[in-house]
Amino acid sequence: MAGPAKILLVIPTYNEAGNIERLLREVLAQGLGLDILVIDDHPEVALVVADALESEGHQAFVAGSGEEGLQAIEQSPPDAVFLDVVMPGID
Tens digit of pLDDT at every position of the chain (91 positions): 455 555 554 555 545 556 666 766 776 666 667 889 999 999 998 999 898 888 888 899 999 999 999 999 999 999 888 888 778 777 6
> Which class for 65: exposed (0-12), middle (13-18), buried (19 or more C-beta within 10 A)?
middle
pLDDT score for 16: 54
> pTM score, two decimals?
0.67
User: Could you tell me the CA-to-CA distances from 86 to 7, 42, 72, 90 in Å, in that order?
Assistant: 9, 11, 19, 9
Q: What is the DSSP letter of 56?
A: T
